[in-house]
Amino acid sequence: MGKNTQQSRSNWAAFPHANKAFEYTPDGLKKAWPALHKGDCEPFPSLARIKALDPDHPDPKAASEAMIEAWCCYHAGDFSRAVEMAEEVGLVAHTIANKASGIYADYLEDDESAQLAIYEEGMARAQSAIDAFPNDPNAHYFHAFMTGRYSQCISMAKALKDGLAGRVKTDVLHTLDLAPKHAEAWLALGLFHAEVINKVGKMVGGVTYGASANESMAAFEKALKLTPKAPIAWIEYGNGLYLLYGDKKLDESNEAYLKASQLKPTDAMEKLDVEYALKSIT
């Protein structure tokens, strides 16, 4: 990445919730991995995983070790260091870089121009990953994630006009073709339907974009079934209810936020999710 990007990352805000429970050792990370990554279906960065992803990688052992350390940084909330280490490893570490930078931009970056820059950088990184590793679900998922967040920043109306919503849907569906139990992709699909309908209505949304309230709810229910203990699953379900039904479903939306706020976070991202849920209850 360019010098300006690295300099701006040095100014990233620190994770504001110190918690020793989030500071995983490499062995602890491996043991906790199935629970920590149930939502994104990311494989543990073992030597075999690196070799399978990139058979021509010059030093898969060093890449594996560095990625494990980067993930430890991510789960502890050191998002800047996680991205830095991922970029040093290279494109095989795209998921770490995109997840860490995306969560940071969502929750800890107050400057909208800085957010946009992070999302644009993430879109480019994810597209490179799609080109290099077309069968990696998270290459497609994080392109959808970054594009979706970018769309929210520039306004969904402009995003729809520019065709970004269609790309989000394509990326998410591709993710689910490759990883049917990818709970975060199911959440993204639910939000796609809900946000389109919220902006253009059921009729135009259905005819033009294939958006459906029923499909939105079904996608959220699938995610909740896969990851019932993930705060983000309940948050996005609450968001979807309000986008689709407004005040008619306010109580149910608040119940979803309350459920999220009562779950015990397992890492920095989930702690930020829980804090967001607490603030969202109206």
User: CA 100, 84, 1, 88: dihedral to nearest 10 degrees?
Assistant: -120
Of the candidates 117, 115, 97, the one whose C-alpha atom is nearest the C-alpha of residue 106 is 115
Q: Quick one: what percent of the chain has pLDDT higher than 70?
A: 97
Collapsed DSSP state (helix, strand, coil) of residue 271: helix
Q: Quick one: what percent of the chain has pLDDT higher than 90?
A: 87
| CA–CA gap between residue 45 and residue 23 (Å, rounded) | 18
pTM, entire model: 0.94
Tokens 């059921």 map to which residue?
A: 202
Check whether 7 has a pLDDT greater than 50: no
Which residue ranges form the domains of the chain, and what is each CATH number? 205-282 (1.25.40)
Check whether 173 has a pLDDT greater than 50: yes
Check whether 158 has a pLDDT greater than 60: yes
More confident call, 208 vs 197: 197
Q: Are 53 and 92 within 8 A, CB to CB?
A: yes
Q: If you average pLDDT over every residue of the chain, what do you get?
A: 94
**Model confidence at 4, in pLDDT bands (50, 70, 90)?**
very low
DSSP, residue by residue, 91-133: GGGHHHHHHHHHHHHHHT---HHHHHHHHHHHHHHHHHHHHH-
Give the residue-averaged pLDDT of 96-115: 96
Check whether 163 has a pLDDT greater than 90: no
Give the residue-averaged pLDDT of 227-239: 98
Give the residue-averaged pLDDT of 85-105: 97
More confident call, 185 vs 1: 185
Check whether 227 has a pLDDT greater than 60: yes
Give the residue-averaged pLDDT of 9-18: 89
Check whether 154 has a pLDDT greater than 90: no
| CA–CA gap between residue 263 and residue 229 (Å, rounded) | 7
Token pair listed for 169:
């849907």
More confident call, 282 vs 237: 237
pLDDT, residue 80, reads 97
pLDDT, residue 5, reads 52
Check whether 139 has a pLDDT greater than 50: yes
DSSP-H helix ranges across the chain: 3-9, 26-36, 47-53, 60-76, 79-89, 94-107, 112-132, 137-154, 156-161, 164-178, 183-200, 202-209, 213-226, 231-245, 250-261, 268-280
Check whether 103 has a pLDDT greater than 80: yes
pLDDT, residue 1, reads 44
